[in-house]
Structure 1
Amino acid sequence: MEKYVNTLTQKIKTDQGHIFAYREIGNPVGIPLIALTHLSGNLDNWDPTVIDGIAVNHHVILPDYLGVGASLGPAATSIQAMATDMIEFIHQLGYPQIDLFGFSMGGFVAQEIMAQEPGLVHRAILTGTGPRGGKGIENVTRISDVSLLKAIFTFRDVKTYLFFTRTLNGKQESKAFLNRIKSRTHQRDKGISWPAYRKQLTAIHRWASEAPIDFSNATFPVLIANGENDIMVPTKPNSIQLAKSFQHSKLVLYPDAGHAGVFQYAAAFVKEVNQFLLA
C-alpha cells in the first residue's frame, strides 16, 4: 500500500472560487475520514505512522485550511468560519456523509462542523482537544508564544514543548515523532505564514470565550482521546467534559503523555481508531 510520505498533494477548486490542497490515502470506497489538523499545522504535520495505520482499512482525506500550506484563499478568523470552509470542501468532493478526525484546533473545527451540519457526520474522533469555552483554552496564545520563544533559544521544534511531557519518556517520544513527520523528503507542504498563524490564535482565543455547543441530540458515536497531561488543552476537565457531552462516546487517556498523546501511543491509537470506525 502507498505510504503517506509518498502521497501526492492534490488541489480542488470549489464553486465559491477557493482552492483547497489535500492528500488522500487508502482505498477510496465507503465513508471517507476527513482529518483536520492543529494550530499552524499543514499536510506534513500528520504522523505518517498513524495515517498509514488508519489507511489500511479506511479512505483518509487530509486538507489544508484555507490560507495555509498550498490552499489558496483567505485564512479564517474564527473556528466557525474554518468549519464552514471545510464543509465547502467536503461538498465539493461530493460526499453526502463523512467521518471526522480532529486533532487539537482540528477538534474545535470538527465540533463546529457537527453543529453546523450534523447530518453530514457519521462518526467523529476528537483528540488533544476540548469543548467550546473549555477551561484553559484561553491560554493557548500565551502558552504557544512562551513555548515558541523557548524553542527559538534552544534550537528545537516548538512541538517538543507543546505536544509532549518533559519526562524522559516524553522527550524520547518527542524526538521519534519529529523524525517521523520530517521523513517526507520531496514536495513538502508550505509552512504557515505569520499572519495566518496569528489569525488562528485569535480564532482559538475567541472560541475559548464562547458558550459550549449543545450536543445532547447528537446520535453519532464519538471517540475522544488525549494524553493525561495536555498543557495546551488541559485534559482535566476538558476531555472528560467533552466525553460527557455526547450520548455515545468513549474516552481514552494515555499515561505520561501530553497534547500529542495519540501520536506518542501511535500503535495503540491506530488500533483504537480502526475498532471504532469498523464497529
Structure 2
Amino acid sequence: MREDMTRADLRTRKEDVTLQTASTRYVDGDGIRFAYRRVGPENGIPLVLLQHFSGNIDAWDPAVVNGLANERPVIVFDNAGVGRSTGQTPDNVEAMARDAITFITSLGLTQVDLLGFSLGGCVAQQIASVQSGLVRKLILVGTAPRGGEQHLMAVLQAAFSDAGAPDPRLPLFFTSSVNSKSAGLAFLKRTKERIEDRDIESGPAVTGPQARALISWCAALDPEHISLRSISHPTLVVGGGADAMLPANNAYTMFKAMMNAQLVLYPDSGHGAIFQYPEIFVSNALSFLKV
C-alpha cells in the first residue's frame, strides 16, 4: 500500500480547508489507484462519503462537505473506475463495497463513519454488513434497502428529456416548487466553484455498470429484511419527502427494520434533499455523529 502526495498536499489545513481548494491525493490498494480529498481537522474518526450514481468528487455539495468538515475529518473519494481513480467500475454493489473497503484500509484507517448517498447508501449498507468492525456509525441518504423501490431509468429519461432544465440534476434532485428549484440552482452554482483540478465526469463506462448495480440491488428481494436487521450500527436515515428516484418509503422501511436507526425526512424535497437543506442536514448529521 502506498500513498502518493505532492507538495500541494503538504500545505497546512488553513490553506487546504475546503472541498473547492483541497488537493487531490492518491492511494494505491489491490491494484487500484484511488483519488480522494480530505478536509477538516486532522484528528478524530474520519467520515467517509460514498457518492451517488454517476457522481464524482466534485459532484458533492461544498456546503455539505465543508459544513461537516468544520467538526469532523471528511474524506471524499472516487471508487474504482470513477473520476480519476483507476480500475473498472463494477456492476454490483458487493464489488463496489469491497473496493471501498480496500480504499479505506489502504489509508491505514481502522474505524470510520460512513455517509452513503443514493447508490453510495447501498454500498454503505453492504460495508456495514460484511465489515462491521470497520464502521462506527452510518448515515444513509436518499437510498434504498436490498429489494427496495427504485425508478432510476424512468426518472433519468424524464430528466434528460427536460429541455428547460439547465442541468439534469435540477429535475432529478429537486421538486418543481419555486423554493426547491431556487435551492437547486444554488446547489448547481456551488458545485461549479472549483475551477482548477476538477474531477473527470462520468461516461458510459461508469454509468452503465452503476445503473445495473442499483437496479440489481433493488431487484434482489429480501422480504424479511435480513440484510437490514444484520446492521446494528447507530444509523441516521435521511430522505426527501418527494424523492421520485428512490421514494421515501424506502427510508421508512430501513428505519423500521434496522435495530438502531433514526429517521429524518425533509419537506418539499426530492432526491437531493441534503443539498436543498445543507445547513439543517449538517446540523442533524453532526449532532448524530457526536460520541
2:162 is equivalent to residue 147 of structure 1? no
Per the TM alignment, residue 156 of structure 1 is displaced from its structure 2 partner at its CA by 1.9
Tell me how far apart the structure 2 counterparts of residues 146 and 76 of structure 1 sit (CA, whole Å).
26
For residue 287 of structure 2, give the secondary structure of its aligned residue in structure 1: helix
AA at the equivalent of 2:221:
A
Tell me how far apart the structure 2 counterparts of residues 256 and 217 of structure 1 sit (CA, whole Å).
32
Q: Give per-residue Cα distances to partners, 1:19-78, cap 9 Å, x unaligned.
A: 100111111222111100100000001110111111011011111021110000011111
AA at the equivalent of 1:69:
G
Q: Which residue of 2 aligns with 1:91?
A: 105
Q: Give per-residue Cα distances to partners, 1:84-122, cap 9 Å, x unaligned.
A: 100111111111111000111110111111111112110
Correspondence for 1:166 among 176, 179, 183:
176
After superposition, the Cα gap between the structure-2 partners of 1:134 and 1:217, relative to the gap in structure 1 and judged at 3 Å, is closer
Matches within 5 A, 1:124-203: 124-135=138-149, 137=150, 139-150=151-162, 153-154=163-164, 156-203=166-213
For residue 62 of structure 1, give the secondary structure of its aligned residue in structure 2: strand
2:28 is equivalent to residue 13 of structure 1? yes
For residue 82 of structure 1, give the secondary structure of its aligned residue in structure 2: helix
Q: Which residue of 1 aligns with 2:260?
A: 248
Q: Give per-residue Cα distances to partners, 1:172-202, cap 9 Å, x unaligned.
A: 1110110011111111000012222111111
Poorly superposed stretches of 4+, deviation over 3 Å: none
Per the TM alignment, residue 220 of structure 1 is displaced from its structure 2 partner at its CA by 1.6
Correspondence for 1:44 among 58, 82, 95:
58
Tell me how far apart the structure 2 counterparts of residues 98 and 155 of structure 1 sit (CA, whole Å).
37
Tell me how far apart the structure 2 counterparts of residues 79 and 218 of structure 1 sit (CA, whole Å).
16
Tell me how far apart the structure 1 counterparts of residues 46 and 39 of structure 2 sit (CA, whole Å).
10
Contact 2:165 2:171 in 1 (8 A): no
AA at the equivalent of 1:186:
E
For residue 12 of structure 1, give the secondary structure of its aligned residue in structure 2: strand
Aligned length: 273
Contact 1:68 1:193 in 2 (8 A): no
Unaligned runs of 5+ residues in structure 1 are: none
Tell me how far apart the structure 2 counterparts of residues 81 and 228 of structure 1 sit (CA, whole Å).
30
After superposition, the Cα gap between the structure-2 partners of 1:217 and 1:78, relative to the gap in structure 1 and judged at 3 Å, is closer
Unaligned runs of 5+ residues in structure 2 are: 1-13
Tell me how far apart the structure 2 counterparts of residues 187 and 214 of structure 1 sit (CA, whole Å).
39
Per the TM alignment, residue 217 of structure 1 is displaced from its structure 2 partner at its CA by 4.1
2:116 is equivalent to residue 102 of structure 1? yes
Tell me how far apart the structure 2 counterparts of residues 8 and 218 of structure 1 sit (CA, whole Å).
34
Q: Give % identity.
A: 38
Tell me how far apart the structure 2 counterparts of residues 252 and 238 of structure 1 sit (CA, whole Å).
12
Q: Give TM-score scaled by structure 1 length.
A: 0.95
Per the TM alignment, residue 132 of structure 1 is displaced from its structure 2 partner at its CA by 1.2
Q: Which residue of 2 aligns with 1:221?
A: 234
AA at the equivalent of 1:3:
T
Per the TM alignment, residue 155 of structure 1 is displaced from its structure 2 partner at its CA by 5.6
Q: Which residue of 2 aligns with 1:30?
A: 44
Matches within 5 A, 1:252-271: 252-271=264-283
Tell me how far apart the structure 1 counterparts of residues 42 and 231 of structure 2 sit (CA, whole Å).
27
Tell me how far apart the structure 2 counterparts of residues 155 and 242 of structure 1 sit (CA, whole Å).
32
RMSD across aligned positions (CA): 1.2
